[in-house]
Amino acid sequence: MAKTVAQEFKKGLWDEIPPFRLVLGLCPVLAVTTTAENGLGMGLATTFVLVCSNMLVSLLRNNIPSRIRVPCFIIIIATFVILVELLMQAFAYGLFLELGIFIPLIVVNCLVLGRSEAFASKNKFVPSLADGLGMGIGFTLSLGVLGAVRESLGTGMISGVKVFGPSFEPFEFMVQAPGAFVALGLLLCVMNIIGKK
Amino acid sequence: MREMVRMVATLTILAAAAGGLLATVKTTTAERIEQAVLDYVQGPAVMSIMEDVSNDPLEDRFALTIDNEERDFFIGKIDGAPRIVALEGKASGYGGDIGVMVGIDIETGEIVGIGITTHSETPGVGSRAESDVRFLTSFKGIPVREQDKIYIGEDDGDISNIGGATVTARGVCTAVRRAGEMYKNYESEIKTQVEAFAG
């Protein structure tokens, strides 16, 4: 069942959208989505790593002995993660302070390793690029939406702009850890209702 | 055997390439990162200490190597003459190291103010050390040489405690004492460096 490049790209946006359909990479999904901006920043950082590692793994897939493929993937992924961390420190230090420890933790995000193992190591360069890009954008959108839901309900604002009327009383717990689970559960529920039709 | 060699070779080449790439990026971004840390971490703390200085303390700074570590010193001028020097001390708090910028009046040797640079204290509890005015201002005016005063009240010192965050408050006191210690031990070097900024 050969899929077209466009299909490989599109599946990450809905059919296999990472946090909601594959339910992969939940640690950052729950931890950094206190605001829409943090969610998007984390998503973009992950997308960069995902696209780069997918491309490189796909290019090297015939040269990597299968018994040591996982250590090789980890080296590749870790390299790009440190690259992102350095670049973020140099050009977006404010975001780096917010995301902090979760940037190095992209290394152990099972979504990134999962795509290398399940897709890029078996497919050609272009489909792997499309897969990484689609999954990454899907991940970014999910984090952005989750962040926006939590930020708006938890603080009544998105990036400093009030979204509800003046009588709105913020649910403060939405920006704390339990709120992450509640928001994720509600979004999963909405996704399933839409998906059934 | 051949497979073994191939595995070792693959990993070695991959790791070497990764190392080389990262070393290159690290050197090329080092300067920008230093600037970013200055703007985001040390900058706000320095500016909160030096309220009515006539210069830009982030511009007028020098570095000394103390205990194999390069440390930045920021100079605040009052009426054109260097008067305040700010340096950073570190100590462990409740959740890791706390960095504290300490401003010292070089003529009287008194603390003019402190500002927290980095910390990983519990949000809403220890993190109040950043903004608790009573706590922060209680450092003001203490001569940096009288180290036994830089303890919280419970430890027979002059510093107001932060309710519910004693460990953090103690950590900040230790960091301030360490900065004071450093200032005391290197006072002549610091003063020579500061004089270069006069006039």
Sort out which chain A residues have CB atoms less than 8 A from B6's CB and list them. Answer: 65
Mean pLDDT computed over A21-50: 86
Q: Minimal Cα distance from A68: which residue of B?
A: B7
Report the distance separating Cα A11 and Cα A131, nearest Å.
8
Whether A75 and B18 lie within 8 Å, measured CB to CB: yes
Domain annotation covers residue A77: yes
Write out the residue range of the structural domain in which residue B189 sits: 46-195
In angstroms, what separates the C-alpha of B10 from chain A's closest C-alpha?
7
Maximum distance among all Cα pairs of chain B, rounded to whole angstroms: 77
Nearest to A12 by CA among A180, A139, A156: A139
- End-to-end, the C-alpha distance of chain B in Å comes to 73
CB contact under 8 A, A93 and B11: no
Question: Could you tell me the sign of the dihedral formed by the alpha carbons of A124, A125, A129, A130, in that order?
Answer: negative
The whole-angstrom separation of Cα B102 and Cα B91 is 13
Distance in Å, alpha carbon of A18 to nearest chain B alpha carbon: 28
Chain B: closest CA distance from residue A197 (Å) = 43
Chain B CB contacts of A71 below 8 Å: 11
CA A177 – CA B15 distance, rounded (Å): 37
Q: Is a pLDDT exceeding 90 seen at residue A83?
A: yes
Q: What is the CA radius of gyration of chain B?
A: 21
**For the segment A104-144, what is each residue's pLDDT rounded down to a tens digit?**
888 888 889 989 999 999 999 999 999 999 999 999 999 99
Residue B109 — left, alpha, or beta (φ > 0 → left; ψ -120 to 50 → alpha)?
Answer: left
CB of B37 within 8 Å of any CB in chain A? yes
| First-last CA distance in chain A | 25
Q: Which of A60, A63, A82, A86 would you mutate first to test chain B, the one with the most B CBs within 10 A?
A: A86
Amino acid, res. A171: F
Cβ atoms within 10 Å of A51's Cβ, excluding its own: 22
Mean pLDDT of B138-156: 89
Angle in degrees, CA A162, A168, A172, rounded to 5? 90
- Tally of domains within chain A: 1
Residues from A in contact with B at Cβ < 8 Å: 63-65, 67-68, 71-72, 75-76, 78-79, 82-83, 86-87, 89-91, 93-94, 97
Hey, are the CB atoms on A90 and B36 less than 8 Å from each other? yes
B52 compared with B87, residue with greater pLDDT: B87
Q: Is the dihedral of CA B79, B83, B89, B94 positive or negative?
A: negative
Higher pLDDT, B118 or A100: B118
How many domains does chain B contain in total?
Answer: 1
Say if B5 falls within a structural domain: no
User: What average pLDDT does range A10-33 have in this prediction?
Assistant: 80
Residue range B141-164: mean pLDDT, rounded: 88
CB contact under 8 A, A68 and B10: yes
Each residue of A150-190: pLDDT tens digit?
888 888 888 777 877 777 778 878 888 888 899 999 988 88
| Contact (CB<8Å) A79/B21 | yes
Question: Is B85 a member of any domain?
Answer: yes
Q: Which residue in B6, B26, B36 is closest to A65 by CB distance?
A: B6
Confidence bin at A2 (pLDDT 50/70/90): low
* 3-state secondary structure at position B65: strand
Tell me which residue range forms the domain holding A119: 16-196
- Partner-chain contact B14 A72, CB within 8 Å: yes
Cβ distance of B6 and A71 shorter than 8 Å: no
Are A83 and B25 an interchain contact pair (Cβ–Cβ within 8 Å)? yes
Q: Minimal Cα distance from A67: which residue of B?
A: B7
In a domain, A121, yes or no: yes
Task: Identify all chain A residues contacting B25, using CB atoms and an 8 Å cutoff.
Answer: 83, 86-87
What tens digit of pLDDT does each residue of B48-71 get?
Answer: 888 888 888 888 888 888 888 888
pLDDT of residue A158: 80
Q: Is residue A125 part of a domain?
A: yes
pLDDT, position B120? 79
What is the pLDDT at residue A48? 94
pLDDT band at B77 (very low <50, low <70, confident <90, very high): confident
Please state, rounded to an integer, the average pLDDT across all residues of chain B: 88
What pLDDT was estimated at residue A58?
A: 94
Q: Are A139 and A47 in contact (CB under 8 A)?
A: yes
d(CA A57, CA B134): 56
Q: How far apart are CA B107 and CA B124, in angstroms?
A: 37
pLDDT band for A1, please (50, 70, 90 cuts). very low
Under the banding of pLDDT at 50, 70 and 90, the label for residue A49 is: very high
The residues that bridge with A122 in the sheet, in sequence order, are none
What does the angle CA A64 – CA A108 – CA A71 come to, to the nearest 5 degrees? 20
* B33 part of contact set with chain A, CB < 8 Å: yes
Q: Which of A29-38, A47-56, A172-181, B141-150 has the highest mean pLDDT?
A: A47-56
Structure tokens at B130: 């950043």
Question: Searching chain B, which residue's CA lies closest to the CA of residue A87?
Answer: B29
Res B199 pLDDT > 70: no
Note the pLDDT tens digit of each residue in A101-114. 788 888 888 889 98
Q: What mean pLDDT comes out for the span B95-117?
A: 89
Domain assignment of residue B39, yes or no = no
Strand partners of residue A1: none
The pLDDT assigned to A46 comes to: 93
In a domain, A173, yes or no: yes
| Domain assignment of residue B7, yes or no | no
CB B161, CB B154: distance < 8 Å: yes
- Asked if B120 and B104 touch (Cβ cutoff 8 Å), the reply is no
Average pLDDT, chain A: 87
Find the angle CA(B25)-CA(A136)-CA(A124) to the nearest 5 degrees: 85
Answer yes or no: is A63 within a domain.
yes
Interface pTM, i.e. ipTM = 0.79
CA distances from B43 to A100, B38, B56, B73, B101 (A): 19, 5, 10, 12, 10
Q: Please report whether residue A11 resides in a domain.
A: no
